């Protein structure tokens, strides 16, 4: 069965925290500590996705856009809509 990939919702945060705590206890995330639930809530949006399988959250990924200060990594206009 394929998991459903969807935008994370506020009511998914506890399941994500539970997964992170389990991963830390299992010592499979060396150097990574579980996130603060408030930080996760503040991350909600288009770049925070969960994988749901049979009604259960089984994974997630999140990202954010950062604007550099005083350094240009990608020049403006490099990404444009294809016509």
Question: Does residue 77 belong to any structural domain of this protein?
Answer: no
The span from the CA of 37 to the CA of 13, in Å, is: 7
Cβ within 8 Å of residue 66, ≥6 positions away: none
Question: Does residue 78 belong to any structural domain of this protein?
Answer: no
Domain that holds residue 56: 4-62
User: Considering its fold, how many domains does the chain have in total?
Assistant: 1
Question: Does residue 82 belong to any structural domain of this protein?
Answer: no
3-class DSSP state of 74: coil
Query: Residue 17: which of 45, 49, 41, 51 has the closest Cα?
Result: 41
More confident position, 4 or 32? 4
| Percent of the chain scoring above 90 in pLDDT | 55
Question: Does residue 24 belong to any structural domain of this protein?
Answer: yes
Question: Does residue 81 belong to any structural domain of this protein?
Answer: no
Question: Does residue 79 belong to any structural domain of this protein?
Answer: no
Give residue-wise pLDDT tens across range 4-25: 999 999 999 999 999 999 988 8
DSSP β-bridge partners for residue 57 = 52
Task: For the full predicted model, state whether its pTM sits above 0.85.
Answer: no
């Amino acid at each position: 069965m394929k998991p459903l990939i969807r935008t994370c919702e506020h009511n998914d945060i506890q399941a994500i925290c539970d997964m992170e705590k389990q991963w830390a206890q299992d010592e499979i995330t060396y150097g990574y500590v579980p996130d603060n639930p408030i930080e996760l809530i503040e991350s909600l949006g288009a770049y925070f996705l969960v994988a749901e399988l049979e009604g259960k959250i089984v994974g997630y990924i999140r990202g954010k856009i950062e604007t550099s200060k005083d350094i240009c990594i990608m020049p403006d206009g490099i990404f444009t809509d294809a016509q």
